[in-house]
Amino acid sequence: MGVLFIIILISSIFAIAVFIWFRLARYPFTMPLFSAALLAGAASIFPALFFQYIFPAGSGIFQLSDKWGLFAEIFIRIALTEELSRFLILFILFTVIVRIFKKPIDKMPNAAGLVAGIGFAILENSVYGASNFDVTFLRAFTAAPLHGACGSRVGASVVFMRESPVHGILRFLSAVAIHGAYNFMLNIPSRFAGIAAAFIVFSALGSSIQVIRSEMKVEANPYS
């Protein structure tokens, strides 16, 4: 239990850092919105687990002994199902908050997606921590930034789907590609692969931060 608590704490540090960033930047992403996005992201793990249960590892095209089967396992059964689950939950979140509570969360989709991704990572890391301590600490430091970066892209894709479906699909597929590439690197027993996985994560995160900073500028100067 002590180790599991440490894992969850490490995973939560990124969420705390993002919240402090929003506050210091005076970004109108309020505590209720932050909490809603965080919980929605955590909830998105359940449809992902359902999809993965329907298509179990080692069955059909997901033959782990075959190189194409391993590719399908990593990019389709894992990355695609998790990002699709996040898309569905964020779509519901945006619809409810905008239409019922009249909050402009759809004007800051990258930020909402970033927070949702962190929520997913915190719950996922706790599940991994309870079942497999061997890989947990690596994930504890990289999973939250990964899911945050991917969630940012998925959040944007939810909004873009209404105005520019092609752009929305491309944003969604970019999240799947980043997620899949990270998982693929983790399956290679090499120090270089671990460095490459970290590079993928933090490059994607840096790009998401730049986009969110642009959202902040628009929110601060809506008529500029």
> What DSSP line would sit under 50-100, residue for residue?
HHHHHS-TTSTT--TTSHHHHHHIIIIIIIIHHHHHHHHHHHHHHHHHHHT
pLDDT value of position 223: 41
**Separation between Cα atoms, residue 54 and residue 5, nearest integer Å:** 31
- pLDDT per residue of the chain (224 residues) written in tens, 0 to 9: 666 677 777 778 999 999 999 999 999 898 999 999 999 999 999 999 999 888 887 676 777 667 788 888 899 999 999 999 999 999 999 998 888 877 778 788 999 999 999 999 988 877 765 555 555 566 778 889 999 999 999 999 999 998 899 999 999 999 999 999 999 988 887 778 888 998 999 999 999 999 999 888 876 555 44
Asked if 212 and 110 count as a contact pair (C-beta separation under 8 A), the reply is yes
Specify the pLDDT at position 141: 81
Report how far Cα 137 is from the mean position of its chain's Cα atoms.
Answer: 18
Task: Please name the residues in contact with 71: beta carbons below 8 A apart, sequence gap of 6 or more.
Answer: 184
For the chain, give me the number of helices (H) and strands (E)? 9, 0
Q: Measured between alpha carbons, how far is 140 from 8 in angstroms, rounded to an integer?
A: 8
Angle between helices 45-54 and 109-131 (to 10 degrees): 60
Q: What's the pTM?
A: 0.89
CA-closest candidate to residue 98, choices 82, 116, 83, 112: 112
CA distance 191 to 186: 10
Cα dihedral 196/174/127/122 (nearest 10): 90
pLDDT at 132: 55
